[in-house]
Amino acid sequence: MKNSEKTLQIDILAFGAHPDDVELGCGGSLFKLKKLGYRTGIVDLTEGELGSRGTVAERYKEAAESAEILEVDERTNLKIPDGQILNNQENRKKIIRLIRKHQPVLIIAPYPEDRHPDHGNSSRLITEAWFFSGVKKVLPEIPPHRPFRVLYYMAKYEFEPSFVMDITGEFDTKFRALQAYKSQFYNPEWPEEQTFISSRWFMDSVEFRARHFGWMAGVKYGEPFWIREPLALDDPVPIFSRKIL
């Protein structure tokens, strides 16, 4: 069996179009899964070089600091050009190689529809790569591996969640991970012009959303997820018998 890729098992592999997307959409959940004993990883598709603030070098430094706060086991950047996340063979193969290398149980990706074109484009790219990662005649030198499901997290546009992860105990860590992006989010000392996401109001909205979806699910803070397929449960009692706050 030919296999040039060294396997490093990552149970949960979360993808984002830009550094900081994963932290915004599912940072609390990723940290919770780490606390539960799973190995976690983040894949940034681009270096975020089109961002209005911060340099590529600064964003790499911030992403590394954020990853340390969330205690992820590995963070990778695929260096796809920012603003040009094309669903083509070259980019699909980059993701397929990572999926087969890390053999995750779950893939987490942005929701397919969003205000930022890169988010929707990356979602479709990741979804197709996920499927073809299980097709053995694609990159036949690497054994196929397709995780059972893809979970989609929320960016700008909202959706009706399939479920909500309780991140009440992890929200503070999620927020600290976001604050590591000093060039991107609220930071009065940063010398560049203010943007939509660098406003204090935007950071407040991160908490507003977590409180809203937490309230919807009966917890203090929550992160919403959507899946394409119905959930199959062996025992619904532990899930549906929990107490509401």
CATH of the domain at 66: 3.40.50.10320
Which residues span the domain enclosing 182? 12-228
**3-state class (DSSP) for residue 107:** strand
Is 172 inside a domain boundary?
yes
- Please state, as a whole number, how many other Cβ atoms lie within 10 Å of the Cβ of residue 125: 24
Q: Which of 235, 159, 166, 181 is nearest to 22 (CA)?
A: 181
Is 56 inside a domain boundary?
yes
Is 242 inside a domain boundary?
no
Token pair 């976690």 is at which residue? 40
pLDDT of residue 176: 95
The pLDDT of 121-128, averaged and rounded, is: 97
Summary mean pLDDT of the chain: 91
The pTM for the full model equals: 0.92
pLDDT of residue 2: 38
3-state secondary structure 146-212: CCCEEEEECCCCCCCCCEEEECCCCHHHHHHHHHCCCCCCCCCCCCCCCCCCCCHHHHHHHHHHHHH
**3-state class (DSSP) for residue 31:** helix
Stronger pLDDT, 54 or 91, i.e. the higher one: 91
Per-residue pLDDT tens over the stretch 8-60:
799 999 999 999 999 999 999 999 999 999 999 999 999 988 887 778 999 99
Q: Which of 41, 44, 21 is nearest to 104 (CA)?
A: 41
Q: Order of strands, edge to edge, in the sheet holding 222-226? A: 74-77, 40-44, 12-16, 106-110, 149-153, 222-226, 163-166
C-alpha to C-alpha distance for 88 and 175, rounded to whole angstroms: 34
C-alpha to C-alpha distance for 73 and 8, rounded to whole angstroms: 10
Per-residue pLDDT tens over the stretch 145-198:
999 999 999 999 999 999 999 999 999 999 999 999 988 776 777 777 887 766
**pLDDT band for position 4 (cuts 50, 70, 90):** very low
pLDDT of residue 245: 61
Is 234 inside a domain boundary?
no
pLDDT of residue 195: 76
Is 3 inside a domain boundary?
no
**pLDDT band for position 221 (cuts 50, 70, 90):** very high
pLDDT of residue 39: 97
**3-state class (DSSP) for residue 100:** helix
Residues in the chain: 245
pLDDT of residue 3: 41
C-alpha to C-alpha distance for 47 and 58, rounded to whole angstroms: 10
Q: Are strands 222-226 and 149-153 parallel, antiparallel or unpaired?
A: antiparallel
Both tokens assigned to 224? 């919403």
Is 179 inside a domain boundary?
yes
Cβ(24)–Cβ(163) under 8 Å? no
C-alpha to C-alpha distance for 142 and 151, rounded to whole angstroms: 24
The pLDDT of 197-222, averaged and rounded, is: 90
- Return the axis-axis angle of helices 171-179 and 200-217, rounded to nearest 10°: 160
Share of the chain above pLDDT 70, in %: 95
C-alpha to C-alpha distance for 60 and 47, rounded to whole angstroms: 8
Is 208 inside a domain boundary?
yes
Domain count, the chain: 1
pLDDT of residue 151: 97
pLDDT of residue 118 exceeding 60, the answer is yes
Is 233 inside a domain boundary?
no
Cβ(63)–Cβ(177) under 8 Å? no
